[in-house]
Amino acid sequence: MKITQVRLFQVQGTLEHEGPFWEERLVRPIDLYPEHRVEGPGDYPPPIAEERYRVQSIFLEVETDEELTGLSGPISEVSAFLIDRSLKPNLVGQDPLAVELIWDKLYRHAVHGRKGEMMMAISALDCALWDLRGKWAGAPVYRLLGGPTRNHIPAYASALGYSLEPDRVHQRAQEFVQQGYQATKWFFRHGPASGHEGVERNVELARTLREAVGDDVDIMLDCWMSWDVPYTLHMAERLAEYRPRWIEEPVLPDKIDSYAQIRALSSIPIAGGEHEYTRWGIHALLEAGAVDVLQPDVYWAGGITEMVKICALASAYDIPVIPHGHSVPATAHLIAAQPPALCPILEYLIKWNQVHQFFLKHPVRPEGGFVPLPKGPGLGLELDEGKIEDRREVSWT
């Protein structure tokens, strides 16, 4: 069997959603500058009418001479461009089951793409090959990875984009608990540039969450790379009484020494690695003793082939891997094949998954706070033609 073509196509549809889709945004590193700090949450997907939003997603499909195909996505337009213009020629004619060989060739070809969009493009291709491999074997990907290690996977409710007004936070957090979630993550809106008032608002968020969910539900708090060492240590002191399970991404990802300093002095565990790539980037975090929890994304850090290596590496350091939650179907297969102590829980970004899984016929969604194991061969990705209003191939060659 040989790869004959790699196709990229964009689909478009209409998402119905009551009220504004994005109610609030998280703090960002660029919010250091006042003109950016006042910016709102953005408008993707763009509204086209009241409570109706236009969703556009790009998927990629690997075709073979035996009529088997592999699907992955959604991916960014930049990743699609890189696949079309740079990576695709390295796949055509290759054995699609030789995922290790193909990954190594792509990595060696993209010597300036060890991180960022090029590695995201390689990750998406790798996931498509695993989908194809599962279809070839007639089995879910988690079985090919050695699983399953459990019948269902605990999930936590990741509340990016929800209002941070205390009354709304209290209500939503209680709703998550009623839905069966035993953990929820919320995203700070303020960093060092917001001064004393921002500190108090951040503390108010943690206090509201703990009061809403009680003592037996975990809360996690995400800084999205926007704090610094003194601010994080001060906030850790203020937040400790609310017992967060972790503080996430307190500083920019390249500041590994800062991560390690914070971890050594904070009474609250530190999570990171969402914006890190490949086993080599993760190894640097582990060697520095920088994090208590690793969070690489399957569609960003190198795909399933690389994430298996990352999990093995993390296990040698006794550091759990809880992947970033953009790529839920692929992530569910990976976690299902790993020991529960190593990959204990799945992040479910509630709003993002409405967009990212919008076109899927069988989206992976938590039920009672748990994700059931995906069914069907491969990654279980199949598009729902009933939601596709427009479809077109995209190419830059």
Any idea what the Cα angle at residue 328 is, between residues 314 and 263, rounded to 5°? 35
3-state SS class at 321: strand
> Residue 265 contacts by C-beta under 8 Å, 6 or more apart in sequence?
233, 236
Measured CA to CA, the distance from residue 310 to residue 99 in angstroms comes to: 16
3-state SS class at 263: helix
Active site residue 275: no
The dihedrals phi and psi of 197, each to the nearest 5 degrees, come to -60, -40
Measured CA to CA, the distance from residue 377 to residue 116 in angstroms comes to: 30
The dihedrals phi and psi of 221, each to the nearest 5 degrees, come to -135, 125
Q: Which of 324, 326, 333, 356 is catalytic?
A: 324
Measured CA to CA, the distance from residue 87 to residue 89 in angstroms comes to: 6
Q: Which helix (H) or strand (E) holds 329?
A: helix 328-336
Measured CA to CA, the distance from residue 170 to residue 186 in angstroms comes to: 12
Here the tokens at position 236 are 């850790």
Identify whether the C-beta of residue 220 lies closer than 8 Å to the C-beta of residue 182.
Answer: no
> Residues, the chain, total?
397
Q: Which residues are catalytic?
A: 324
